[in-house]
Structure 1
Amino acid sequence: MELQRLADLSDDELTRAYAPAREPWLRVNFVSTVDGAAQGSDGVSKSINNDADKRVFDALRTNADCLVVGAGTLRTEGYDVPRLPLVVVSRSADLPPTLRDAPRGRILMATVASSDGLAAAREHLGDDNVLVLGEDEIDLPALKRELAERGWRDQLCEGGPSLFADLLAAGIVDELCWTIVPRLAGGDAVRIAVGAEVDVALRPALLLEQDGTLLGRWLVEPA
């Protein structure tokens, strides 16, 4: 696989370079330092990303049908309401404050039947926008199917690390988009996957470079 310069690709070429191999397609996008830190010293990923990462980040969002993010990451990173439909993954069904004024239908909640916040989520988001997927644990394969049935076949997940590990354990991740910025963090920073123990084989499909930043597509090999 040849290393390509990100700056040499037009926006249309970048879109084609990241085209899904099939549908539905669930990709997870992360940025980290060279030593694996998924966050800066302030605890958020924004402090380690850069212009190269932002360009691919924006391209992935522009072409995705929906965005899937864990509630903890939404709160930590201070997400605003995105342009595309946002699926909040939360067993507690707790909607982050920054999303509570979103227009009806822009935010979905994926949760469980035993959640104490289920009734409040239904009242706030509407019954059709609350996906009850399991009794105590969220059925992640069912979530991928449900989103595809809604016509959202290019599914983009932005974490967090525990949700990524759970998605890998469930066997439903098709691709990791991973930016490595040329920095070291040390300390005890969180990695891009934390929690569930997995052993997942990956195949590199694309490697881009800009000013020392590496941006790659890693496809999940069938088990």
Structure 2
Amino acid sequence: MSDLELQRLADLSDDELAAAYTPEREPWLRVNFVSTVDGAAQGADGVSKSINNDADKRVFDALRRRADCLVVGAGTLREEGYDVPPIPLVVVSRSADVPPTLADAPRGRILMATVSSSDGLAAAREALGEENVMELGEDEIDLPALKAALVERGWTEQLCEGGPSLFADMLAAGVVDELCWTIVPALTGGDAVRIATGAEVEVALRPALLLEQDGTLLGRWLVE
């Protein structure tokens, strides 16, 4: 960590910021999270929007502009009230449930990653189109197969925005290449959810970039 230079986010142009997040290879799956200093991935209202700030938003937007597709768990989509993003959104849901805020999205903008045992398969196919519903396992979603299926569609730079249980499952499956982690200068206490919950994992990370703005730290951590 001592060899890593702290850079001011404000000193980077938009093009320089985008270049700073260039993947080391293809395909590449990065996960983006924000948390407080004591590890809370959400504010008192239960969503991450209440703890993010302008610095986090700038990197958040830069990562989305770089990405070929966005991967998010259905629970997080509902809790955070996601709108239809400008890039293809892959909903990860064993129940194949399409969040209501995405129901009116243009055909092909929303995809579903689910399991063949799901009772919601028929409804998802009708809502999204059969070609946009991926059956990836019988009862549990095969996350390496998901990453490969997205590559087959030409989406080699993949961005996941959680939630915490999906992140832990992805780490356990060995598909994560990078964690982009914003730490806002605040403490919340309580029993708020951390950025990874559920599956027990032990994953070594290598810091590759550290930015700062007004006390907020934003880093790239590569999976070893």
Q: How does the TM-score come out when normalised to structure 2?
A: 0.98
Q: Deviations over 1:173-209 (max 9, x none)?
A: 0000000000001000000000000000000000000
Partner SS state of residue 201, structure 2: coil
Distance 1:171 1:187 in 2: 31
2:76 is aligned to 73
Partner SS state of residue 183, structure 1: coil
Structure 2 counterpart of 1:210, one-letter code: Q
CA-CA distance at 1:28 after TM superposition: 0.1
Structure 1 counterpart of 2:144, one-letter code: P
Partner SS state of residue 82, structure 2: coil
Counterpart selection for 1:38 from 41, 44, 48: 41
CA-CA distance at 1:22 after TM superposition: 0.6
CA-CA distance at 1:19 after TM superposition: 0.5
Matched residue pairs, number?
A: 221
Structure 2 counterpart of 1:53, one-letter code: D
Aligned-residue sequence identity (percent) comes to 86
Distance 2:64 2:218 in 1: 16
Counterpart selection for 1:192 from 191, 195, 205: 195
Distance 1:172 1:82 in 2: 23
Aligned-residue CA RMSD (Å): 0.3
Structure 2 counterpart of 1:44, one-letter code: V
Q: Would you say 1:133 and 2:108 are equivalent positions? A: no
Structure 1 gaps of 5+ residues are none
1:92 is aligned to 95
Q: Would you say 1:167 and 2:174 are equivalent positions? A: no
Q: How does the TM-score come out when normalised to structure 1?
A: 0.99
Q: Which runs of 4+ in 1 moved over 3 A?
A: none
Structure 2 gaps of 5+ residues are none
Counterpart selection for 1:53 from 51, 56, 61: 56
2:210 is aligned to 207
1:148 is aligned to 151
Counterpart selection for 2:110 from 96, 99, 107: 107
